[in-house]
Structure 1
Amino acid sequence: MKTYQLKWEQDMPITLDEAWQFFSSPLNLAKITPKEMGFKITSDYTEDTVMYEGMLISYKITPLLGIKMNWVTEITHIKDRKYFIDEQRFGPYAMWHHEHFFKEIEGGVHMTDKLTYAIAPAPIGGLANALIVRKKVKQIFQYREKAIIERFGNLVM
């Protein structure tokens, strides 16, 4: 199975505590996901839910062509205010490993997302990735970048 990797970086003019509080809450993910994804948390979490290792988060998503899917991820690693990792346990990918890193910088926080994913075996997976999946994932993270700027502003150095 071939894996693919993508990386995004963004600076935000907020404190490390604010960044951690926002991004470590599963409920906030819908706020930075394109509306057409039909993203909805189906886990029974509240605003007060604190992320923990082993936490399972279930979602409903509509990634392509109006097809609704269930998706379950697990928070596998956490280092408070430094990073957390989520991995797919059930969903549209053969493998999904998403690392979220936070670093305090002058005037704000630097966030890095590293995504490693796999889809169907070759040659179908490679073709699907080249034609659809990679582009779709990039669009989701481009939307996310804009939504974060709208919510927190843009750190200009």
Structure 2
Amino acid sequence: MPPSQRSVYAKTSRFAVSLGALGGFHADPRALATLTPPPIFAQLLRDERRSLTEGEVEFRLWLGPLPLTWLARHEPGPNPDSFADLQVRGPLAYWRHEHIFREAPGGVELTDRVTLAHKPGLRGIFTRLVFDGLPLRILFAYRHWRTGRALRK
């Protein structure tokens, strides 16, 4: 998919924890379910990550009765304290989600940056309704809220 047909979304939040705590939360296999907002249900099918920056995860998102299976490859992100997951197989034409961690005054800053592109036709219409615009903003607002809540426990 040419870069000109991709869009980028980013959300940044600060948390009063260490880089290690934020990374540990994301490394936990339960994080996917924790960060998936209702009414979507996440089902982990296979987790072959060797670290946050290496390996693959296969999961299924249930949107009501509709299953969406996703295979993501984890790889290094844009800085040493980050990682990315790249959709290898899934509902979109392209999806790269960078989880960027940075030290910040009083804790850490998390930036979720997603670069995405849609498939043509009905699939593209569907993914625009579920994974773009307002739904994408709601998804990441929820994810950052849940991350903060989990880190405060």
Question: TM-score, normalising length from structure 2?
Answer: 0.81
**SS in structure 2 of the partner of residue 38 of structure 1:** strand
2:89 corresponding residue in structure 1: 90
Unaligned runs of 5+ in 1: none
Aligned AA (1:87): L
Partner-residue secondary structure (3-state), 1:62: strand
Distance 1:71 1:27 in 2: 16
Answer yes or no: is the 8 Å Cα contact 1:25–1:50 preserved in 2.
no
Aligned identity (percent) is 24
More strand by share: 2
Write the distance in 2 (CA, Å) between the matches of 1:24 and 1:53. 10
Query: 2:131 maps to which residue?
Result: 133
Indicate if the aligned counterparts of 2:9 and 2:114 stay in contact, CA closer than 8 A: yes
Aligned length: 148
Q: Distance in 2 between matches of 1:26 and 1:80?
A: 22
After TM superposition, list the pairs within 5 Å mapping 1:4-153 onto structure 2: 4-44=7-47, 50-51=50-51, 53-63=53-63, 66-77=65-76, 82-121=81-120, 125=124, 129=128, 131-134=129-132, 135-153=134-152
Q: What is the CA–CA distance in structure 1 between the aligned matches of 2:116 and 2:96, rounded to whole Å?
A: 6
Structure 2: give runs of 5+ residues left out of the alignment: none
AA at the equivalent of 1:72: L
User: How many Å separate the matches in 1 of 2:39 and 2:140?
Assistant: 14
TM-score, structure 1 as length reference:
0.79
